[in-house]
Every structure is written in structure tokens, then in C-alpha cells.
Amino acid sequence: MKINRLVLAGAALVALAACGSATDSITFKAPANYTPKAQIGPFMQVWTTADKHSALILMQLPTKVSLDDIMSQTNVKDAQVKVKRTLTICNNQPAIYAEMTGTTGGMVNVGTSDGDTKTTQGDVDVLGTNVNGHTYMAMYVREKNAASDPAAVAAIHDICPK
């Protein structure tokens, strides 16, 4: 019975992977110094730098979410929001942007080059916007107080319809 569940779970992951990616209908592109780390179906993609000290995460939520509620989707614990503002991107497309510090962990653990699963204090830039009936959230995560990568910040602002 346990093997059957594993086979079904594996088949579901293969089926989801064949469904495309979160970038299929938007212009988002990770900078050249970021390499793909993971893709969860067509809903989420993760890129990291070679040293794993920073990461980009792109999520396509299955439905349209209010931009005011997007920050609650970040899963950053004990978040201290430094900047939060609404802005327009891609020729008048409404978006919300925030810079915060908090506890990160789970799939992306910046600052841990050995890939362990400990949680870390990190700085997070997040941008949320709605495109073609879906809400997209892009996050740039890095070690706390690390210098910001302008190319990564620009990438999360590039969630425009194709």
C-alpha cells in the first residue's frame, strides 16, 4: 500500500512538471548568475546563486488574490517590513512591493552552502501583481544585511504579460 502511494505521488509530480512553468505567460527571467534549483509543477520555480547565498522564487497562485493580501503569502516568519508601497510596472500594471527582514527556511535556506534545512535570518524583497487572472509573487531572498543584487531586484519587477 505504501509503495502504491509513492508511485501515485511520483506520477503526480511528473504530470505537474509536464504542465509548463510559472514563467510561461510572463516575461520574468532570472539573471545569468542564478541557476534553476527547483520547479514545483507550473506553480513555483526557484533559482539560486552558485554559493546559495541568495535565491529568486517565482510563484503563480492558482487564483487572483488581492494585492493587499499578497504579503501574507510570503511565509517569512517574524517579518519586519522596512518598505511597503504600491507601484506600477509593465505600462501601468498595478503591483505591490515590500522589503522585509525575517526568518526564512524550508526550500530556500540562504547562507547555507551545504544545503541543510536550518532556518536563517534573511532580507526579502517581494513583488506581487496580477497577470491574466492569476496572482504572481516574486521574491528575492538573501542573507541578512548582505548587499542587494540590482539584477535580482530588477528581475522581480519584470512580471509582465508576454
All domains in the chain, ordered by first residue: 21-156 (3.40.1000.10)
pLDDT at 68 over 70: yes
Quick: pLDDT tens for 13-34: 444 444 566 777 788 999 999 9
pLDDT in tens, 85-136: 999 999 899 999 999 888 776 545 555 444 554 557 788 899 999 988 889 9
Query: Average pLDDT of the chain?
Result: 78
pTM for the full predicted model: 0.77
Whether the CB-CB separation of 86 and 95 falls below 8 Å is answered with yes
Per-residue pLDDT at 43 exceeds 50: yes
Long-range contacts at 38-47 (CB < 8 A, ≥ 24 apart): 38/107, 40/16, 41/13, 41/16, 41/17, 42/16, 43/16, 45/21, 46/107, 46/108
Cα–Cα distance measured from residue 108 to residue 91, given in angstroms and rounded to the nearest whole number: 32
Ramachandran area for residue 106 (φ above 0: left; ψ -120 to 50: alpha; else beta): left
DSSP secondary structure string, 103-153? EE-TT--TT-TT-----EEEEEEEEEEEETTEEEEEEEEEETTPPP-HHHH
145: alpha, beta or left? (left if phi > 0; alpha if psi -120 to 50): left
| Range with the poorest average pLDDT among 78-82, 122-126, 156-160 | 78-82
> Which residue has better confidence, 90 or 40?
90
Q: What is the mean pLDDT of residues 65-89?
A: 80
- Does the pLDDT at position 151 exceed 50? yes
